[in-house]
């Protein structure tokens, strides 16, 4: 028994000498619990709603208030006649557009059915389905109020408001058209981070890192030299994934291929540079693999809008999502693939992807110089 305790004590000391691994063993389960508990939320709230009220009557304003006076819709824009709905949805300024035609109040006053149209961004099939049910319930409640006010009861043969939804980009609300682009972003980030993280860690384990340090190479040369091969491999993997998505799932790229290539290049560079950063704080391949997997896989799934709407997350987590490059790439990817939009609609996302790569590269370079010193 004494020998067993001696081995256990020795192992405990080694664990405390490796604070990174110990931290992952202790803090990671708690972190995952908190992240899943707050981020795993299928409720859809604060949907950006644009309104085109051509009637400008008290009745039309009451209908709009029925939508925005709930936690499910936020008024994002008040549109004039002739507004470009496609541009509005492509830039994600609005996820839903409520159109109230002229004569809405006149039809209601005459006891006839008044038409109302709701245009939904169906790129996110799950969110669109939930928003559709919210809008249907709100209009049904408005119909009950109108009938009660006019007849004193809910009885009646005419439905006051005829609600006509129209889904854009994914009219059949196929979940694969929403999930496949998200899977592409997740797979690319995971492979890019892990491949470069293991590359540097492998050099450390084999003892060849010292040879590279004494070679006439700067930190920038070393980092770029380690990144370029995996950038080419990741680019080939991207093409294969897109071809497989087209053949197996029927996901058609509607937007410009060049724009998609530019956005994917920036995203892959960010992932590869983050992998180099992970390798700078990891001493073994096992540690690099664990750290790279956790820091790339969980955020890419939970905090990127891949499955769970960011606007429905707690406010603190919404700020955390700004540190996840997959958040920006998925917006661009779904916009190009599903909506046929160009990069002109995603200048902000492209800029943030660029800033992310510059910051991560700077951090990796600083850590590398400190270790060399």
State CA 56 to chain mean position distance. Answer: 36
C-alpha to C-alpha distance for 251 and 338, rounded to whole angstroms? 8
C-alpha to C-alpha distance for 308 and 173, rounded to whole angstroms? 16
What per-residue confidence (pLDDT) applies to 10? 61
- Closest to 353 measured CA to CA, from 320, 327, 334: 327
Q: Collect all residues with Cβ–Cβ distance below 8 Å to 132 and sequence separation of at least 6.
A: 118, 120, 165, 167
C-alpha to C-alpha distance for 103 and 222, rounded to whole angstroms? 69
The crossing angle, in degrees rounded to 10, of helices 257-280 and 219-249 is 130
- H/E element holding 9? helix 2-16
3-state secondary structure of 79: coil
Max intra-chain CA distance, the chain:
94
C-alpha to C-alpha distance for 170 and 180, rounded to whole angstroms? 13
C-alpha to C-alpha distance for 224 and 15, rounded to whole angstroms? 33
The crossing angle, in degrees rounded to 10, of helices 347-372 and 219-249 is 140
pLDDT in tens, the chain (373 residues): 666 676 667 666 766 666 666 665 566 566 665 655 555 566 678 889 999 999 888 988 999 999 999 888 999 888 888 788 888 888 888 889 999 999 888 888 888 888 899 999 888 777 888 888 889 899 888 888 888 776 654 445 567 888 888 888 888 777 777 778 888 888 888 888 888 887 777 767 776 655 555 555 555 566 677 677 878 888 888 888 888 888 888 888 888 999 999 999 999 989 988 988 888 777 777 788 888 888 888 788 878 888 777 877 777 888 888 999 999 999 999 889 888 888 888 999 999 999 999 998 888 778 767 766 5
Strand order in the sheet with 47-53: 73-78, 47-53, 96-100, 114-121, 161-168
**Residues pairing with 120 in the sheet:** 96, 167
Q: DSSP states of 98-115 as a string?
A: EEE-TTHHHHHHTTPPEE
What number of residues does the chain have?
Answer: 373
C-alpha to C-alpha distance for 287 and 18, rounded to whole angstroms? 10
- Within 10 angstroms of residue 281's Cβ, the number of other Cβ atoms is 15
| CA torsion angle 164 170 171 172 (round to 10) | -130
| CA torsion angle 340 342 346 352 (round to 10) | 110
**Which residue, chain included where needed, has tokens 């669109």?**
128
C-alpha to C-alpha distance for 141 and 77, rounded to whole angstroms? 24
- Pull the structure tokens for residue 261: 């290539």
3-state secondary structure of 361: helix
**Residues pairing with 10 in the sheet:** none
C-alpha to C-alpha distance for 342 and 332, rounded to whole angstroms? 9
C-alpha to C-alpha distance for 241 and 239, rounded to whole angstroms? 5
What's 316's DSSP letter?
Answer: H
**Which residue, chain included where needed, has tokens 């109040």?**
105
**60-86 burial, b if ≥16 CB within 10 A, otherwise e?**
beebbebbeeeebbbbbeebeeeeeee
């Amino acid at each position: 028994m004494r020998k067993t305790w001696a081995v256990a004590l020795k192992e405990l000391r080694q664990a405390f000498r490796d604070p990174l691994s110990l931290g992952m063993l202790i803090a990671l389960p708690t972190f995952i619990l908190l992240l899943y508990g707050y981020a795993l939320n299928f409720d859809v709230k604060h949907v950006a709603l644009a309104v085109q009220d051509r009637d400008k009557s008290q009745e039309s304003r009451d209908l709009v208030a029925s939508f925005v006076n709930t936690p499910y819709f936020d008024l994002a824009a008040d549109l004039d006649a002739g507004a470009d709905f496609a541009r509005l949805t492509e830039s994600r300024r609005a996820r839903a557009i409520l159109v109230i035609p002229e004569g809405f109040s006149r039809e209601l006053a005459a006891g006839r059915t008044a038409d109302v149209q709701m245009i939904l961004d169906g790129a996110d099939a799950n969110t669109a389905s939930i928003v559709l049910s919210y809008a249907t319930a709100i209009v049904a409640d408005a119909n009950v109020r109108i009938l009660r006010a006019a007849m004193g009861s809910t009885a009646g043969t005419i439905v006051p408001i005829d609600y006509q939804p129209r889904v854009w980009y994914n009219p059949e609300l196929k979940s694969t058209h929403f999930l496949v682009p998200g899977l592409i972003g997740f797979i690319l980030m995971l492979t890019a981070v892990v491949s470069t993280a293991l590359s540097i860690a492998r050099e450390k384990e084999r003892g060849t890192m010292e040879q590279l340090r004494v070679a006439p190479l700067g930190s920038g040369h070393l980092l770029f030299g380690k990144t370029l091969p995996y950038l080419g491999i990741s680019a080939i993997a991207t093409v294969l994934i897109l071809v497989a998505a087209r053949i197996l799932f029927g996901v058609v790229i509607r937007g410009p291929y060049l724009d998609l290539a530019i956005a994917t290049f920036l995203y892959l560079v960010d992932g590869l540079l983050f992998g180099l950063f992970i390798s700078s704080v990891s001493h073994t391949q096992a540690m690099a693999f664990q750290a790279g997997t956790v820091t790339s896989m969980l955020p890419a799934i939970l905090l990127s809008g891949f499955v769970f709407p960011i606007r429905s997350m707690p406010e603190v987590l919404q700020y955390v999502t700004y540190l996840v490059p997959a958040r920006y790439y998925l917006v661009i990817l779904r916009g190009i693939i599903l909506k046929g939009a160009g990069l002109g609609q995603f200048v902000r996302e492209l800029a943030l992807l660029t800033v992310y790569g510059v910051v991560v590269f700077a951090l990796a370079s600083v850590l590398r110089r400190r270790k060399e010193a």
